[in-house]
Structure 1
Amino acid sequence: MRILIAEDHKILLESLALLMSSIKDVEVVSTHTNGRQVLVALETTQDIDIVVSDLQMPIMGGIELALQMRQQFPDVRICLLTVADRPEAVKEAILAGADGYVLKSAEKSELETALHTIVQGNKFYSPEVLMLLAKDTGIEFSPETDKPQKIAITPRELDVLKLIAQEYSGTQIAEKLFISSTTVETHRKHLMQKLGVQTTVGLVKYAIKYNLI
Structure 2
Amino acid sequence: MDQSINLLIADDHALIREGLRKILSIEPRINVVGEVADGQQAVEFCTRNQVDIVLMDINMPVMNGIEACRRIKEIKPNIGIIALTIHDQDEYLFELIKYGISGYVLKDVHPDQLIQTIYGVARGESFIPPAMTARVLAEFSRLTSGDHHERKHQALTDREIEVLKQVAKGQSNKAIAKALYISEKTVKNHLTSIFNKIGVEDRTQAALYAIKEKLVDL
Give the TM-score normalised by the residue count of structure 1. 0.67
In the alignment, which of 119, 123, 131 is matched to residue 122 of structure 2? 119
Relative to structure 1, is the Cα distance of residues 24 and 174 closer, same or farther in structure 2, using a 3 angstrom cutoff? Answer: closer
Question: Structure 1: where are the runs of 5+ without partners?
Answer: 141-150, 166-172, 189-200
Residue equivalent to 1:10: 14
Q: What corresponds to 1:59 in structure 2?
A: 62
C-alpha separation between the residues in 2 aligned to 1:207 and 1:108?
30
1:177 paired to 2:181 = no
SS at match of 1:106: coil
Q: Deviations over 1:4-29 (max 9, x none)?
A: 00001111111111112223411111
Opposite residue 128 of structure 1, the aligned amino acid is A
- Structure-2 residue corresponding to 1:26: 30
Aligned match for 1:77, one of 77, 80, 96: 80
- Number of aligned residue pairs: 174
Maintained 8 Å contact 1:52/1:80: yes
Code of the aligned partner of 2:82: C
1:41 offset after TM fit, Å?
A: 1.4
Equivalent pair of 2:47/2:75 in contact (CA under 8 Å): no
In structure 1, the partner of 2:41 is 37
**What is the Cα-based RMSD across aligned positions, in Å?**
3.6
Does the C-alpha gap of structure 1 residues 68 and 202 become closer, same or farther in structure 2, counting only changes over 3 Å? closer
| Structure 1 residue aligned with 2:147 | none
Decide whether the 8 Å contact of 2:39 with 2:68 is kept in 1.
yes
Q: Is the 8 A contact 1:6 1:53 kept in 2?
A: yes
Pair 90,211 (structure 1): closer, same or farther in 2 beyond 3 Å: farther
Deviation at 1:133, TM superposition (A): 3.0
Does the CA-based 8 Å contact 1:66-1:78 persist in structure 2? yes
C-alpha displacement of 1:202: 8.2
Q: Is the 8 A contact 1:101 1:129 kept in 2?
A: no
**Structure 2 unaligned residues grouped into runs of 5+:** 143-150, 169-188
In structure 2, the partner of 1:156 is: 156
Identity value in percent: 27
CA-to-aligned-CA distance 1:131-170 (integer Å, 9 cap, x gap): 5435x57746xxxxxxxxxx995471684894xx9xxxxx
TM, length-normalised to structure 2: 0.66
- Aligned mates of 1:152, 1:58 — CA distance in 2: 40
Question: How big is each residue's C-alpha offset from its partner over 1:40-88, in whole Å with a ceiling of 9 and x where there is no partner?
Answer: 2123223x21011101111111111111011111121111111111122
Runs of 4+ in 1 over 6 A off after TM superposition: 209-212
Tell me, yes or no, if the aligned pair for 2:97 and 2:205 is still in contact at 8 Å.
no
